[in-house]
């Protein structure tokens, strides 16, 4: 006697398979990005000279990492960093939409065919590679891919066990909707959008859609409407993530939303003929039930046609789209812009990104932090030549404000790195995070030293004292050496340099600073003992020289941290 299937158990099994699908795709995407490393950055930065290459870049990168979100987030971070223009980013995002259609084809194949024979060997090879450590990222990728394929197999078998085509409740529910009505299409479009926002995964909603349509429960037209809703829903999550980010990040995210909404609007005008055309390519009649395999591939074909044709239409209007998003999302007012300067330049708050890409952003931010410290020291040098008065007071206050800003930047970068370190990281990336934490601590000390130098100069000026011409020349000689050390520090921190400068030059400058400090201290002591300079002047001179030498120590500490010394 045939027993009735336990629908509650099967439903739980389906939810578990969906969770496994989302996990597998996320795990696979992150492992691929670890394998690619900085190559992703160089690929996107180098291959965006025109719209065609930018679209091709977005497509290839998304196919490689199996995540349009990862490509979009990386692209947005490059816009914020000034490495890409907004127009280039829009073209890359268009390509990302084409690249993500591969996921639909993979899921269609996974649900339509038995892939269990491929899953178990992948798990075996994957675990061996993970324990080999040197090939751990490859093993992680195989595990993620195996989990994804396993979940698709479970979904397919669960759908068959549920026997949805003969489930009167399910059949009558969908039969109650008129699939030939535009109102019904709009309703399911909205359902697809909401579901994608709730599940935070267009892949999971696509899997549900393929399962329901291939089982014959849901009419294909309604499944296509869900797919259109998924395209909108996946952009809404990115826009919500970019709410707290900079204006350029919000513009790029909004351009992504505009791209998909525009595509949905024109497809709705020709909805039924367009769906029929996509189905005819795979040999299916959209109005009648057919081969489940062809139905799943028809959904993937529609997804591909939708994104490819939408790109072909909009690629000619990238400048107009750029002007439109800039008109909708305007630059922050002057008072808000002042507040926004406290934010990091290359790390966009609110954007969810993968650890490997986040580390690249953090490296860029640390380099910018080093550049800011040298600018601050330059203001101290200028302060030395500024006569007492309002101009001097304003310059001093600016340095104090910069030091306060430096403290905030250190905490912001450290907080970001702490969030990144909570994620699954490779051993190499963990080492980079530790190194950057050391670096920002030393760079912050450079800011403290600049503040101390400025305060020493102010106390000296307030006392009405003046350095001799020789003392002024010697202090400037010391500051010149320190400035060279800071410039070399920034070369070391800039990981975009094609040639690694090494640490030798930094060590040479450090030795010169120490030797000059020793010589100037000895000469200054003799000058005070011989009464050629006052005790107050000699003390101020010695304080400046010693503080400069301390600053040089912080600089060499940054270089040593960079090379793991």
Instruction: Dump pLDDT digits (tens) for 369-424.
Output: 999 999 999 999 998 888 888 888 898 999 998 888 888 888 888 888 887 777 66
Which of the residue ranges 224-238, 323-337, 382-396 would you say has the lowest mean pLDDT?
A: 323-337
**Do 309 and 391 belong to one domain?**
no
Alpha-carbon distance of 503 to 511, in angstroms, equals 13
**Do 144 and 231 belong to one domain?**
yes
Contact 191, 247 (CB under 8 A): no
Can you spell out the DSSP letters for 349-375? TT----HHHHHHHHHHHHHHHHHHHHH
Residue 511 has pLDDT above 90, yes or no: yes
CA distances from 198 to 194, 210, 342, 531 (A): 6, 19, 33, 79
- Note the pLDDT of residue 80: 60
Phi-psi group of 107: left, alpha or beta (phi > 0 → left; psi -120 to 50 → alpha; rest → beta): alpha
Q: Is 1 within the bounds of a domain?
A: no
**Do 150 and 194 belong to one domain?**
yes
Structure tokens at 392: 């001097």
Q: Reduced to 3 DSSP states, what percent helix, strand and coil does the chain have, rounded to the nearest 5?
A: 80, 0, 20
- In terms of pLDDT, which residue wins out, 67 or 325? 325
Phi-psi group of 133: left, alpha or beta (phi > 0 → left; psi -120 to 50 → alpha; rest → beta): left
- Note the pLDDT of residue 335: 46
**Do 52 and 162 belong to one domain?**
yes
Residue 197 is part of which domain span?
9-328
Which of the residue ranges 121-135, 148-162, 174-188 would you say has the lowest mean pLDDT?
A: 148-162
**Do 362 and 321 belong to one domain?**
no
Instruction: Dump pLDDT digits (tens) for 515-544.
Output: 999 999 998 898 889 888 888 888 889 999
Alpha-carbon distance of 244 to 340, in angstroms, equals 10
Q: Is 345 within the bounds of a domain?
A: no
- In terms of pLDDT, which residue wins out, 120 or 46? 120
Alpha-carbon distance of 252 to 248, in angstroms, equals 6
**Do 54 and 112 belong to one domain?**
yes
Structure tokens at 44: 């996107």
Task: Give the residue from 328, 363, 396 where a domain finishes.
Answer: 328
**Do 226 and 128 belong to one domain?**
yes
Of 152, 167, 170, 168, nearest in space to 211 by CA:
152
Residue 5 has pLDDT above 60, yes or no: no
Phi-psi group of 84: left, alpha or beta (phi > 0 → left; psi -120 to 50 → alpha; rest → beta): beta
Which of the residue ranges 24-28, 63-67, 231-235 would you say has the lowest mean pLDDT?
A: 63-67
CATH classification at residue 519:
1.20.58.220
Residue 563 has pLDDT above 50, yes or no: yes
- Note the pLDDT of residue 33: 63
Most confident of 179-193, 208-222, 230-244: 179-193
Q: Is 344 within the bounds of a domain?
A: no
Q: Is 338 within the bounds of a domain?
A: no
Looking at residue 181, the DSSP 8-state letter turns out to be: -
**Do 400 and 313 belong to one domain?**
no
Instruction: Dump pLDDT digits (tens) for 39-78.
Output: 555 666 666 567 788 888 788 777 766 666 667 766 766 6
Instruction: Dump pLDDT digits (tens) for 79-97.
Output: 665 667 788 888 888 888 8
**Do 241 and 143 belong to one domain?**
yes
**Do 408 and 490 belong to one domain?**
yes
Looking at residue 317, the DSSP 8-state letter turns out to be: G
Contact 458, 396 (CB under 8 A): yes
Q: Is the dihedral of CA 152, 424, 141, 64 positive or negative?
A: positive
Q: Is 336 within the bounds of a domain?
A: no
Most confident of 50-54, 351-355, 493-497, 517-521: 517-521
Residue 486 has pLDDT above 80, yes or no: yes
The pLDDT-based confidence of 153 (bands split at 50, 70, 90) is: confident
CA distances from 63 to 33, 102, 162, 233, 429 (A): 12, 7, 33, 20, 23
Q: Is 543 within the bounds of a domain?
A: yes
Looking at residue 164, the DSSP 8-state letter turns out to be: G
Dihedral pair phi/psi, residue 37, rounded to 5°: 55, -130
Alpha-carbon distance of 219 to 448, in angstroms, equals 68
Structure tokens at 147: 């989990």
The total number of structural domains in the chain stands at 2
**Do 384 and 310 belong to one domain?**
no
Q: Provide the percentage of residues in the chain whose pLDDT is more than 70.
A: 77
- Note the pLDDT of residue 485: 92
Q: Is 337 within the bounds of a domain?
A: no
- Note the pLDDT of residue 334: 47
Q: Is 111 within the bounds of a domain?
A: yes
**Do 245 and 114 belong to one domain?**
yes
Which of the residue ranges 107-111, 182-186, 196-200, 214-218 would you say has the lowest mean pLDDT?
A: 107-111
Dihedral pair phi/psi, residue 313, rounded to 5°: -75, -45
Residue 103 has pLDDT above 80, yes or no: no
Q: Judging by beta carbons within 10 Å of its beta carbon (0-12, 13-18, 19+), is residue 53 exposed, middle or buried?
A: middle
- In terms of pLDDT, which residue wins out, 245 or 372? 372
- Note the pLDDT of residue 415: 85
Contact 284, 295 (CB under 8 A): yes
Structure tokens at 173: 């529910």
- Note the pLDDT of residue 337: 43
């Amino acid at each position: 006697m045939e027993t009735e299937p336990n629908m509650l158990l099967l439903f739980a099994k389906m939810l578990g398979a969906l969770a496994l699908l989302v996990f597998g795709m996320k795990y696979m995407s992150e492992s691929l990005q670890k394998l690619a490393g900085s190559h992703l950055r160089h690929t996107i930065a180098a291959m965006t000279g025109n719209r065609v290459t930018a679209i091709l870049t977005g497509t290839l990168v998304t196919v490689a990492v199996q995540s349009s979100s990862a490509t979009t987030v990386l692209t947005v971070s490059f816009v914020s960093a000034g490495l890409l223009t907004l127009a280039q980013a829009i073209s890359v995002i268009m390509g990302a939409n084409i690249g993500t259609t591969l996921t639909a084809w993979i899921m269609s194949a996974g649900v339509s065919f038995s892939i269990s024979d491929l899953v178990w060997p992948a798990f075996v090879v994957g675990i061996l590679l993970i324990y080999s450590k040197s090939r751990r990222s490859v093993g992680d990728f195989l595990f993620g891919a195996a989990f994804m394929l396993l979940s698709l197999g479970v979904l397919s078998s669960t759908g068959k066990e549920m026997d949805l085509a003969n489930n009167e409740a399910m059949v009558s529910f969908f039969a109650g909707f008129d699939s030939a009505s535009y109102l019904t299409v709009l309703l399911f479009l909205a359902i697809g959008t909401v579901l994608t926002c709730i599940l935070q995964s267009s892949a999971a909603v696509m899997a549900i859609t393929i399962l329901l349509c291939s089982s014959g429960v849901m009419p294909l037209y309604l499944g296509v409407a869900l797919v259109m809703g998924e395209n909108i829903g996946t952009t809404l999550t990115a826009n919500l993530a970019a709410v707290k980010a900079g204006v350029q990040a919000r513009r790029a995210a909004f351009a992504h939303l505009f791209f998909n909404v525009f595509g949905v609007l024109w497809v709705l005008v020709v909805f039924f003929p367009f769906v029929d055309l996509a189905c005819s390519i795979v040999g299916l009649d959209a109005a009648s039930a057919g081969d489940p395999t062809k139905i799943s591939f028809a959904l993937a074909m529609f997804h591909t046609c939708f994104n490819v044709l939408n790109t072909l239409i909009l690629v000619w209007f990238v400048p107009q789209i750029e002007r439109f998003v800039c008109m909708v999302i305007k630059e922050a007012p002057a008072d808000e812009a002042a507040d926004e300067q406290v934010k990091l330049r290359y790390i966009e708050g609110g954007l969810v990104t993968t650890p490997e890409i986040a580390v690249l952003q953090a490296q860029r931010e640390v380099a910018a932090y080093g550049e800011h410290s040298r600018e601050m020291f330059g203001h101290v040098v200028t302060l030395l030549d500024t006569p007492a008065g309002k101009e001097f007071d304003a310059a001093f206050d600016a340095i104090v404000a910069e030091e306060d800003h430096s403290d905030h930047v250190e905490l912001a970068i450290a907080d970001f790195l702490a969030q990144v370190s909570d994620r699954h990281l490779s051993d190499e990336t963990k080492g980079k995070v530790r190194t950057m934490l050391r670096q920002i601590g030393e760079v912050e000390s450079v800011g403290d030293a600049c503040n101390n130098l400025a305060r020493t100069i102010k106390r000296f000026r307030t006392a009405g004292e003046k350095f001799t011409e020789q003392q002024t020349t010697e202090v400037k000689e010391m500051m010149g050496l320190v400035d060279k050390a800071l410039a070399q520090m920034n070369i070391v921190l800039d990981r975009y340099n094609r040639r690694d400068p090494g640490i030798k030059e930094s060590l040479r400058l450090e030795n010169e600073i120490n030797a000059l400090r020793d010589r100037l201290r000895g000469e200054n002591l003799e000058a005070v003992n011989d009464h050629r300079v006052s005790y107050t002047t000699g003390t101020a001179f010695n304080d400046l020289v010693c503080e400069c030498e301390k600053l040089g120590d912080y600089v060499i500490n940054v270089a040593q941290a960079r090379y793991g010394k």
